[in-house]
Structure 1
């Protein structure tokens, strides 16, 4: 043990009692006890367990009568499904693929864009507010355009 040898301490002897005070034991027995309330908050805060996911892609469209609306264009449950042109129905599910150009654009968005991980929000309004604030912080959006972007993102989705 390093406290028993004087060579490791440059000729100074360290007694076992004083040396043992600086030893830290790592394990379940020596971890500080957390209350059940602290454990519940930690579990609720970040739940990284796998779960089912549904993703949809909406497109902002001009209706012609000076009104904008969001309409669903694609969705992903396990496979991608697209809205068929003119038929207004879902096409056959297929495995989605990306071109190399799309992957380069994705990399650029992740490097320069507003990326928010583990956002604690309960509704779409608070998510949109956080995203727009982050876009203003990262200079992707001018502060004077903040209201117009919020209004567009919060339009009714059908």
Structure 2
């Protein structure tokens, strides 16, 4: 699972949790993954998933070669389904195509030049997620 975070003046998607047979989350300090554990699922979220599958946009056989093409296909479908106001299309597209950073990636070369700190804690990520 990725979270949209602000890094300086830029926005980027950061990996916050992952599932490899078991769930792992970023531990406090943001430097390593937690012990793998079996994730529990609330019935509310199962019902929400069911609702989204029935009422939302689900595309399983689309010929796309880039992430931008996938995003454009979804945006067109959301607009056709009246799930997205056409005025917001470009803004949502821009957000979806922001840089993605995975936990194992150390950083960008320009960060070292600027000496930018990367120590976001899980609590910081949760605060940013709840604020948006």
- Equivalent residue in structure 1 for 2:22, among 79, 85, 93: 79
Paired residue for 1:142?
85
Is structure 2 residue 103 aligned with structure 1 residue 154? Answer: no
**In 2, Cα distance between equivalents of 1:62 and 1:156:** 11
Give the Cα separation in 2 of the matches to 1:88 and 1:133. 38
Q: Secondary structure of 2:99's match?
A: coil
Aligned match of 1:69 in 12, 28, 32?
12
Specify which structure has the higher proportion of strand. 2
Q: Please give the root-mean-square deviation of Cα atoms over the aligned residues, in Å.
A: 1.5
**Structure 1 Cα separation of the partners of residues 94 and 42 of structure 2:** 32
- Matches of 1:120 and 1:79, distance apart in 2: 31
Q: Which residue of 1 aligns with 2:109?
A: none
Q: Which has the higher contact order (CA 8 A, sep 6+)?
A: 2
The structure whose Rg is larger is: 1
Offset from partner CA, 1:75-116 (integer Å, 9 cap, x none):
122222111133332111122221011111111211221111
Moved over 4 A (4+): none
For residue 90 of structure 2, give the secondary structure of its aligned residue in structure 1: helix
Q: Could you tell me which residue of structure 2 aligns to residue 40 of structure 1?
A: none
Hey, which of these two has a bigger chunk of helix by percent? 2
After TM superposition, the score normalised by the length of structure 1 is 0.59
TM-score, with length taken from structure 2: 0.69
* Pairs aligned (count): 101
Structure 1 unaligned runs (5+)? Answer: 1-56
SS of 2:16's equivalent in the other structure is strand
Distance across 1 between alignment mates of 2:43 and 2:15: 25
